[in-house]
A and B are shown apart, each in its own frame.
Chain A
């Protein structure tokens, strides 16, 4: 979660808020912030840290592990209408890629603002596509797989 905190300014600049959720109480969140996070991130993590005792929220998002009694690492990108646009769930051993989260946020914002769709690996400044009859069967003219890199 500190990796998200380190990129928080960039995420806020895109008009997004971060909410973190675990089964720990808000009291434990405070302890974690004071004893560890604030030593990793100047000022500590800047976003709200939510408490989900018993996994009620985690169950609603299908990320609560009943056996372990914890919320596993799920990430949901929710648009201004409250609709889920992206979701990613990782098994415990591997952490997130915050750069990819930011790329997805930029791509969904581009799609929402322009009505265009963004090909694989799209990033700001790269070619996006306008869906429609004219493009059908002609994607090869507008976009090459090598542009995904």
Chain B
């Protein structure tokens, strides 16, 4: 299903670097708070 405002954000689970260590982050763990989800093309790029 296409992403669209007013629709549920697709849930996902991902390996992450968080607080200086490695962990797994799941979007649905953040239910109850606002989330700013930012994609970007790659580490060591310029903007």
Q: Which residues does A use to contact B, with CB under 8 Å?
A: 1, 4, 11, 14-33, 36, 47-52, 56-58, 60-63, 68, 70-87, 92-96, 101, 105, 109
Contact = CB atoms under 8 A, between A and B. Distances in A.
Chain B interface size band reads 35 or more
Contact of A78 (B22, B37, B39): B37
Nearest to B28: A82
B16 A17 contact: no
A48 to B, nearest CB: 4
Contacts, number: 168
B9 to A, nearest CB: 5
Interface of B: 2-12, 14-19, 22-23, 25, 27-28, 30-44, 47
Given A16-B34, A78-B34, A78-B37, 12 more contacts: A21-B37, A21-B39, A26-B15, A49-B16, A58-B39, A61-B3, A77-B35, A84-B4, A84-B6, A84-B8, A84-B9, A96-B38
Nearest to B44: A32
A25 to B, nearest CB: 7
Nearest to A63: B39
15 contacts: A1-B38, A19-B25, A26-B16, A29-B16, A51-B17, A52-B39, A60-B3, A68-B41, A73-B41, A75-B37, A75-B38, A78-B27, A81-B31, A95-B47, A105-B34
